[in-house]
Amino acid sequence: MAEATQQGLLDDYQVPAGCRDELIDENGEPRPHAGPLIATLERLGPEALAAAGRRRDRIFMEQGITFEVAGTDGERRDRPFPLDLVPRVLPAKEWTTIKRGLAQRIRALNAFVDDVYHAHEIVRAGVVPWSLVVSRPAFARPVHGVRPPGGVYCHVSGCDLVRGGDGRWRVLEDNVRTPSGISYVLENRVAMTRLMPELFAGHRVRPVDHYPGLLLDALRAVAPAVDADPTVVVWTPGPANSAYFEHAFIARQMGVELVEASDLVVRDAVCYMRTTAGLERVHSIYRRLDDDFIDPLEFRPDSLLGVPGLVRAYRAGTVAIANAIGTGVADDKAIYHYVPEMIRFYLSEEPILDNVPTYLLEDEATRNHVLARIDELVVKPTSESGGKGVFIGPHASVSECEAQALRIKAEPERWIAQELVHLSTVPTETADGGLAPRHVDLRPFAVFGDEIRIVPGGLTRVALREGSMVVNSSQGGGSKDTWVLDDGGAVDLVPGTLPTHRPPPRLPDVRYGGWRGQAQQQQQQRRQQALPAISTPSFPAGKTR
């Protein structure tokens, strides 16, 4: 019976050539850290998985965890967010490397932003050309010379990591503007504990639900010094924004106000929100909209989403904005190439996480080399995000390759080329409840207040279509719960962390009472005295005094 199920689950499991599967090894056996998980999945069988999938869709619809997709008829409708029920499992040791590598990278990016708006040391040292920095669309002149409290610019960051066929983790993209997805990390975990509690047996999974606390601490830590408690708000462009669910989620979890531009006002270089009790000072703003829109006086004058004068208040140091204005210069795709150099320059350390090999196309020799191999490479526009305009050589036709080559020749500085990474795979449920390998990436979320803290795991996005490497949810991608194990590979499992066992205090007995209880007890006693046979009362008789 068990063997029959096992055959059904993993027999047809074919990892694509050149890729590494994170849970199943080359011989088709579960990797050691995933052993209990795979065993449980085999025991449950395809029916249980399919049934849990139906429960998941219903619960997500009820809770409003949905996203809009355009149907074939053009009508937009809500779909439950596609959470795959097979988690991705990372051993503690691997996570430690990722965590250290990310913290290092974020420190360097933060130092770079500070440098760009102040001393330009990295430019003077000849590491990054100044012309490249100032030509970035996210370079923000209005904040030149402004240093936010603690010198922290990148309060919230989410870098995209991928894992190639050699098993090494690499950074694919940095994101230090307004990375989204953390709400799915938390909701996925809650959903998994409700839908598939059996899977957690045999694993000690590190929790993620302290993220809102970390974020709130960081936002308070960077607030300008005041006598009273600092007031923190989350600033959303409004319910029409595609990530509004996340904005509301974060505000609710932190217990702070979710504000829109019309709720904020700047008077004498101090930011306030309009409340029923008049204006209330705001100290720290977690904003979820781009620099371009935040202040019509300094950036786009046509922005209706902005607060006039906010940059003035920011410059005056009366309000902290997270992430700081102008951080986008650090996660530009043309700057990405220089991040390993930044780490060496600012921190005097060797990068722990590598870049994906990337070519800047302004140099003629490099450009010709790239153009010759264009059908093997990935070409991305700089200064774009969300997978817009990405060209994937191996998936393109000859004429598409030629068109892309022409675009590169016309404006070489607008493009970068990268080696194609064969994304690692993780077993993923198929429509019939079976398992098949699907490609994944990973976006861990870091919070930088007093220090850098990273929530274990992060958002694993998965391409649900066979063979596809596009993980964006707008293009058929889903997500997975990401487990970081406490498997003894980490140092922080010490006896002190086991649950405290105190002898329970002396509690009074829980009472059961009521008139009927008393009456029944009396009757029963009398009956027992009369007859030795025991009859069960229809409900338990209570203790009386």
Q: Which region, judged by CB under 8 A, interacts with other proteins, from 263-271, 378-386, 465-473, 513-521?
A: 513-521
Q: How far is the CB of 51 from other proteins (least distance, A)?
A: 8
Q: What distance in Å separates the CA atoms of residue 150 and residue 449, rounded to the nearest whole number?
A: 8
User: Coil, helix or strand for 68?
Assistant: strand
Residue 195 touches other proteins, criterion: CB under 8 A? yes
180 vs 188, which CB is nearer to other proteins? 188
Contacts of 237 by beta carbon, 8 Å cutoff, 6+ apart: 260, 261, 288, 289, 293, 305
Sequential DSSP letters for 222-273: TSPP-SSPPPEEEE-S-TTSTTHHHHHHHHHHHT-EEE-GGGEEEETTEEEE
Q: Which region, judged by CB under 8 A, interacts with other proteins, from 121-129, 211-219, 338-346, 436-444?
A: 211-219
Q: How many CB atoms lie within 10 A of CB 343?
A: 23
Q: Which of 501, 529, 533, 535 binds other proteins (CB under 8 A)?
A: 501
Residue 207 touches other proteins, criterion: CB under 8 A? yes
76 vs 501, which CB is nearer to other proteins? 501
Q: Which region, judged by CB under 8 A, interacts with other proteins, from 10-18, 106-114, 429-437, 495-503?
A: 495-503
Residue 189 touches other proteins, criterion: CB under 8 A? yes
Residue 200 touches other proteins, criterion: CB under 8 A? yes
Residue 418 touches other proteins, criterion: CB under 8 A? no
Residue 226 touches other proteins, criterion: CB under 8 A? no
Its sign, for the CA torsion 441, 347, 452, 221, is negative
Q: What distance in Å separates the CA atoms of residue 39 and residue 37, rounded to the nearest whole number?
A: 5
User: Coil, helix or strand for 544?
Assistant: coil
Residue 514 touches other proteins, criterion: CB under 8 A? yes
122 vs 459, which CB is nearer to other proteins? 459
Q: How far is the CB of 258 from other proteins (least distance, A)?
A: 12
138 vs 186, which CB is nearer to other proteins? 186
Q: How many CB atoms lie within 10 A of CB 194?
A: 12
Residue 539 touches other proteins, criterion: CB under 8 A? yes
Sequential DSSP letters for 388-448: TT-EEGGGS-HHHHHHHHHHHHH-GGGEEEEEPP---EEEEE-TTS-EEEEEEEEE-EEEE
DSSP 347: I
> H or E segment at 79?
strand 76-80
Residue 213 touches other proteins, criterion: CB under 8 A? yes
Q: Which of 5, 36, 50, 55 binds other proteins (CB under 8 A)?
A: 55
> H or E segment at 454?
strand 452-454
Q: Which of 348, 496, 533, 535 binds other proteins (CB under 8 A)?
A: 496
Which residues 231-290 are close enough to bind other proteins by CB under 8 A?
252-255
277 vs 515, which CB is nearer to other proteins? 515
| Residues at the contact surface with other proteins, assessed by CB under 8 A | 48, 51-52, 55, 189-190, 193-195, 197-198, 200, 204-207, 209-210, 212-213, 216-217, 229, 252-255, 486, 496-505, 507-519, 522-523, 538-540, 542, 544-545
